[in-house]
Amino acid sequence: PTTRGQPLRLQPREFGSEGFDAPVNPPQPAILAVGAGVERAVLGADRWLDVATVRGLTPSVDPRVIHGALGAALLDAIRRIP
């Protein structure tokens, strides 16, 4: 039997995707897809260039349940986490 897909068995480099879309499966109103971490140059708090691991986040929401603006507000709140 294969064990590669079981939790904690895959290494981040094995995902092979920086980002993707995840479908909403009713009755859940939303899902947040998290892409693989990629090292990128970023502007640090001291205004100097630094290297950070960056992940893409893609929300999928059921518009009958959650307004798109609320999903955008969630991403903005996540972005502000230090």
Predicted pLDDT of residue 26? 87
Mind listing the pLDDT tens digit for each residue in 2-42? 555 555 555 555 555 667 788 888 899 988 888 888 899 99
Share of the chain above pLDDT 70, in %: 77
Predicted pLDDT of residue 8? 56
**Averaged confidence pLDDT in the chain:** 80
CA distances 64 to 12, 15, 30, 31, 71, Å, are 34, 32, 11, 14, 13
